Amino acid sequence: MSEKMPALNVDELQNIANKMRLDVIEMTTAAGSGHPGGSLSAADAMAALYFRVMNIDPADPYKEDRDRFVLSKGHAAPILYAALAERGYFPVEELKTLRKIGTRLQGHPAYHDVPGVEVTTGSLGQGLSMACGMALAGKIDGKDYRVYCLLGDGELQEGQNWEAAMFAHAYSLSNLTALVDRNRLQISGNTEEVMALDPLPEKFRSFGWNVVIIDGHNIRQIIEACDKASRSKKNPTVIIMNTVKGKGVSFMENNVGFHGKSCNPEEYAKAVEELKAVIR
């Protein structure tokens, strides 16, 4: 449970997720580039983590016992920045500096430039290793913080993830929860056509992980899965979240064209209209 923050209900969290979606559209459009698709698919998980699940304090972003978050799919930086800004780590207005010269909000997240960013990511396949290091440090130091790592599905094609998966099991990193944004699209198309990942749950199970499969746009399921993971006594847990790339903006949904492209003025107007219609 977040500090200094009343427990938000699922509807309130859903509203925050949609506000974060609007932030993503605003900031990537202002930047003229960026990765909206994979940011929108992760919005609900990010709202649940930053506003309900994780023990964090924006006023003391590096307090020792904080839960840690690693965005392994670093190109989804817009949704991380949106979560941090909406949660109060820095002003929401700053989001519009995304990707511009001199900004803290680099195209991919840079360690300690932005309060709340725990490591540097962007080159795919490395975040889970870093998350393992944080989780093992916690075990060595006898701390009870948890580490959350958001992975893209496409990046699971990088072999280093499986080195890390082996490591997490070998060191019984029960304090580690990985979340896979299983939106089934990567730049070149469907993940199963580019380089098949399925059977993905079996892969993780065979590496010794607890596997929970959920609807990644159902906030109640996300919270319950995180709670379940936190009760693990021995093994790390992966939550495979079935998601829709571009979720929340009709013409972006399941459209790989918006993996790494921002909106033109018409698309922007339509996206804003759709999102504002669902935000209270």
List residues near other proteins by CB under 8 A: 68, 70, 110-112, 118-123, 126-138, 140-141, 159-160, 163-164, 166-167, 170
Cα(192)–Cα(67) distance, rounded to whole angstroms? Answer: 33
Q: How far is the CB of 103 from other proteins (least distance, A)?
A: 16
Q: Give 169 or 259: the residue with its C-beta nearer to other proteins.
A: 169
Q: Give 119 or 178: the residue with its C-beta nearer to other proteins.
A: 119
Q: Give 144 or 192: the residue with its C-beta nearer to other proteins.
A: 144
Q: How far is the CB of 138 from other proteins (least distance, A)?
A: 7
Burial class (CB in 10 A: 0-12, 13-18, 19+), 110: middle
Q: Give me the helix-helix angle, 219-230 and 10-31, nearest 10°.
A: 100
Q: Give 206 or 264: the residue with its C-beta nearer to other proteins.
A: 206
Residue 4 φ/ψ, nearest 5 degrees: 50, 35
Q: Give 120 or 218: the residue with its C-beta nearer to other proteins.
A: 120
Please, are residues 51 and 257 in contact by the beta-carbon 8 Å criterion? no
Single out the residue of 103, 98, 78, 30 nearest to residue 259, CA to CA: 78
Could you report how far apart the first and last alpha carbons of the chain are, in Å? Answer: 24
Q: How far is the CB of 116 from other proteins (least distance, A)?
A: 13
Single out the residue of 110, 111, 116 nearest to residue 98, CA to CA: 110
Q: How far is the CB of 112 from other proteins (least distance, A)?
A: 7
Q: How far is the CB of 197 from other proteins (least distance, A)?
A: 19
Instruction: Identify the three-state secondary structure at position 102.
Output: coil
Supply 76's token pair: 């989804």
Q: Give 110 or 211: the residue with its C-beta nearer to other proteins.
A: 110
Please, are residues 66 and 57 in contact by the beta-carbon 8 Å criterion? yes
Q: How far is the CB of 236 from other proteins (least distance, A)?
A: 13
